[in-house]
Amino acid sequence: MFDRLSRSWELTKASFGVLSADKELLVFPLLSGLASILVLVTFAVPAVLAGLGDKAVAGEQGVRILGAIVAFLFYTTQYFVILFCNTALVGAAMIRLRGGDPTVGDGFRIAFSRLGTILGYALVSATVGMVLRAVARKGGLAGRLVASFVGLAWGLATYLVVPVLVVEDVGPIEAVKRSAAYLKRTWGEQLAGNLGLGAVFGLMTFGVAVAGVAGLIGAAALGSGLLLGVVAVVMVLAFLAIALVSSALGGIYAAAVYRYAAEGQAGSFFPERLVKDAFVRA
């Protein structure tokens, strides 16, 4: 347990070394978050105003079909903006791992050069998401279990899809195949239990939540509305900062894992032992 936590912290520090060298990489998860909110509002507001949810619950067949189409378009658009920004992030990180000095423009240039493939993979992801959602909704407990298992397997198989798209410039289906092959070739079967970055940032989020709740309780006890507002704002900003850094480091680490799987080295920021051992059962 302690060995795994120690390794997780080492991975975080190694990824943070890349982020420290290129702080502009934070722009990509920030834009991804803002674009995702914009997409959500763009789809949700018209749907609410049109009452699609209530009509679908009432069982109107035409409305349910329309709702499914809108949901598919929403998933596709949401996946597209997230994948586009992740491709830009991983592309820029790959330049740094290979000894270059990337800019935000370099990341976007790479993402724009893969625009068609990103859209294709967004369609694939949206289709998988819709199917799993339908299985979970209609299959009862068994359906939810199947959807969870298949979703986990899909997540493992596609872990390296974005780096593959960045470097190898292949189609979405081939990218999934190569992603699964790279992980299977190295340590894919161990992946689920040893992705340490999530553990570190989970602990950070928990710490902020505990401190924030304590601050809110203290402010309420003092009867200070101003202090209550300040604590709430600081808490929200802390959560946002954790989310941004965590997302950026996740993309950086995925790039390093891909380099090790495909090329046998992850770059000077990631010692070979560290990347390799991260996927060995503790």
User: Each residue of 252-262: pLDDT tens digit?
Assistant: 888 888 887 77
Q: Which of 190, 172, 171, 163 is nearest to 260 (CA)?
A: 163
Quick: pLDDT tens for 180-203: 888 776 654 445 445 667 777 788
pLDDT attached to residue 62: 58
Residue 282 inside a domain? The answer is: no
Please report whether residue 88 resides in a domain: yes
Structure tokens that stand for 156 in this block: 């493992």
In a domain, 138, yes or no: yes
Domain range for residue 157? 2-277
Tally the domains of the chain. 1
- The greatest distance separating any two alpha carbons of the chain, rounded to the nearest whole angstrom, comes to 60
Q: Which amino acid is at 86?
A: N
pTM value is: 0.82
Inter-residue contact 187 to 260 (CB < 8 Å): no
Evaluate whether residue 73 is within a structural domain.
Answer: yes
Calpha distance 35→227 (Å, rounded)? 32
Name the H helices within the chain.
2-21, 27-50, 52-57, 61-97, 104-113, 115-138, 140-157, 161-168, 172-185, 191-194, 196-222, 225-263, 272-277
Evaluated on CA atoms 126, 132, 138, 144, the torsion sign reads: negative
